[in-house]
């Protein structure tokens, strides 16, 4: 099995678009494009989801802005504003991950840029004042963070997709002032490698996934203490149990739910659950007729139902938003790609009341991505 590239914005051909757009979407929910990225020096190509802070949606894009190296943006009432353009001097560049809010300040990572060119941790105020807290790339430090951060009692934890002792990724922690410490270097023996997702805190222990590594080179689920003691809980085979998880996990009552980018009954990804002891169960295999394919993002829990996105699949083949119960009953809410709609959503969703919000990596009026809302 060959793993697909998760960076999707340049993989959809014009001929494919023309042939598939004629099919028209088959939506089970009401979807509205809030904003189309890409006009002039605007943000372009959002890779991650959005967060809601006081009724304003905040996010990042991997390109666009004044230097075409990515942005932080805000949307309120359908009006978008670029808060920061990356790429000036030793600033970060090309953020792949979303943001978190801690005491009214936003924190995030960039995949590139910084003093060493290997990515950064940054903070930014809602008014747009940005500060680099840490530049990755020192001796045995992590490199190229593709995931966001989590806040555990004022300490931020995250992962890098490379770097560390074996140059196969790390788990790190940092203070909000930028004092960073590597907790674990991936790549020893049958350990996981290349983590592309963030972490989740369950009772003080952190849980996450790696995209590669393990006995079958199809990724793992792991747990790690805040002191850095790491244990592999599940090794994916790339078969029916899934493979290559690029997304993090969601805690629902002490049980963890996640997605794999490939594997499953149709080799087009799965939704799975796993206990904190490591017992894994596939809840849904993507890839049946008009179903989603290749989920790159994780899930959210809203009122006992899980919601997520797939990069491809659906009625048009350009991605879906879906819902699934913890028992595994899945339904497509929206198939992306019709008309000026967005397509290939690589990021997850966020819930504000009964409404879901997210972003697509492509499509929209300028073909550079969209922000959207869905009412299930």
Q: Could you tell me the domains of the chain? A: 50-315 (2.130.10.130)
Which pLDDT tens digit goes with each residue over 41-62?
A: 999 999 999 999 999 999 999 9
**pLDDT of res. 338:** 86
CA max distance for the chain: 54
User: CB atoms < 10 A from the CB of 194, how many?
Assistant: 21
pLDDT of 209 strictly over 60: yes
pLDDT of 78 strictly over 90: yes
DSSP string, 142-167: EE---S--EEETTEEEEEESEETTTT
pLDDT of 5 strictly over 70: no
**Mean pLDDT computed over 357-363:** 98
What whole-number distance in Å separates Cα of residue 236 and Cα of residue 62? Answer: 29
DSSP character at residue 353? T
pLDDT of 76 strictly over 90: yes
pLDDT level of residue 9 (50, 70, 90 thresholds): very low
Between 339 and 66, the more confident residue is 66
**pLDDT of res. 189:** 86
Which pLDDT tens digit goes with each residue over 154-180?
A: 999 999 999 999 999 999 999 999 999
What whole-number distance in Å separates Cα of residue 145 and Cα of residue 114? Answer: 12
Percent of the chain with pLDDT over 70: 93
C-alpha distances in Å from residue 23, one per residue of 60, 152, 335: 31, 46, 11
Which pLDDT tens digit goes with each residue over 251-293?
A: 999 999 999 999 999 999 999 999 999 999 999 999 999 999 9
């Amino acid at each position: 099995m060959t793993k697909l590239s998760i960076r999707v914005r340049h993989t959809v051909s014009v001929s494919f678009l023309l042939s598939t757009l004629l099919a028209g979407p088959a939506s089970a929910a009401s979807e509205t494009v809030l904003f189309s990225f890409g006009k002039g020096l605007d943000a372009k190509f959002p890779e991650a989801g959005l967060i809601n802070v006081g009724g304003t949606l905040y996010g990042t894009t991997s390109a666009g802005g004044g230097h075409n190296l990515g942005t932080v943006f805000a949307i309120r009432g359908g009006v978008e504003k670029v808060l920061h353009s990356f790429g000036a001097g030793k600033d970060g560049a090309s953020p792949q991950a979303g943001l978190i809010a801690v005491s009214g300040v936003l924190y995030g990572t960039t995949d590139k840029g910084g003093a060493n060119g290997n990515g950064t941790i940054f903070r930014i105020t809602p008014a747009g004042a940005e500060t680099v807290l840490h530049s990755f790339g020192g001796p045995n430090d992590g490199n190229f963070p593709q995931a966001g951060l989590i806040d555990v009692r004022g300490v931020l934890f995250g992962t890098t997709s490379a770097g560390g002792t074996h140059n196969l990724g790390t788990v790190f922690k940092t203070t909000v002032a930028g004092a960073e410490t590597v907790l674990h270097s991936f790549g020893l023996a049958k350990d996981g490698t290349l983590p592309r997702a963030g972490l989740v805190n369950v009772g003080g222990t952190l849980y996450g996934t790696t995209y590669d590594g393990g006995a079958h080179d199809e990724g793992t689920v792991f747990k790690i203490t805040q002191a850095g003691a790491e244990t592999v809980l599940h090794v994916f085979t790339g078969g029916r149990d899934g493979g290559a998880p690029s997304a993090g996990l969601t805690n629902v009552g002490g049980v963890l739910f996640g997605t794999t980018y490939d594997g499953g009954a149709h080799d087009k990804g799965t939704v799975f659950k796993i206990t904190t002891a490591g017992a894994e169960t596939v809840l849904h295999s993507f890839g049946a007729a008009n179903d989603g394919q290749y989920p790159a993002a994780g899930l959210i829990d809203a009122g006992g139902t899980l919601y997520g996105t797939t990069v491809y699949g659906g009625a048009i083949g350009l991605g879906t938003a879906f819902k699934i119960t913890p028992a595994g009953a899945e339904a497509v809410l929206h198939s992306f790609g019709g008309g000026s709609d967005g397509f290939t959503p690589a990021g997850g969703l966020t819930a504000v009341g009964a409404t879901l919000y997210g972003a697509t990596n492509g499509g929209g009026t300028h073909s550079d991505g969209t922000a959207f809302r869905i009412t299930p």
